Structure 1
């Protein structure tokens, strides 16, 4: 029931029709996503330590982090690899921003060497795994820092991996609350 209510509230939360007052972020292909996702933490770590930054760089980095949290930190199975996942467009957004941050660091004197190493590793992985030409329905979609792309909550019930993982998470949270309440009760209530 909760997912249906949330789905209705967020059904139209994609990047379509939003304000474009922010910064444009170039699209990312489905194949690039699969590889960039594996390097994401290294890219973000390097970017967060960058010294010679400017406002557009920081805004795109911030957008990448915000989008990542909206996509439940990439933890929903299939969010990156499954085009049918309700989290796939959302994943495209945070990984496109991550790629934009990486490409911007090529021009930064202190980060250029490390950024170019990551770019070379990504290129090699894409060729080795044959992902260079792999696309999906969101591969041509550019993004904008003014538009937060939310998961398509209304599609969660019909996507098995998403539904199973979110149901499992709900059960675990429920058990944790039950366990905490049981252990935090005063001792004299337990004896009654």
Structure 2
């Protein structure tokens, strides 16, 4: 079990690195990040709702055994640690598992993390459109038990108030780097 966890973390780190490199090469160009999803209360949430605001996006799923809950716990602590500056950032958690992540399950799942994190979900097409808007990777992977898990980009996309990509937040980098990136995002 331990070997699988470390290999999963290695794969996650590799995906973050590859995604960050691809995105950073385009960071100076604005990108239309259009998407429409729903909050856990069923209200529509559109990319246009974020216009002029810095935000971050993490793609994950509620059945994730380690990467997603760890990232959300750490993000919750980081937002607390940057103090009032965190109020300028809109943190988003987008489910990439519309088949299992119902609104009720997602709402319950998010009670373990900072209440400021906005959980979003959509149908398969909406989920794909949202992931494509950020060039995020995800795919369904069958397991030996007959169920499935999801492979996905494990980093957090940092989007400045002007809509440009600031970069990626990797939960494996030093905490001081993470805090600095969030402070810069809040100031954008």
TM-score calculated relative to the size of structure 2: 0.26
Greater gyration radius: 1
Question: Could you say which structure has the higher strand fraction?
Answer: 2
Which is helix-richer, 1 or 2? 1
Highest relative contact order (Cα 8 Å, sep 6+), 1 or 2? 1
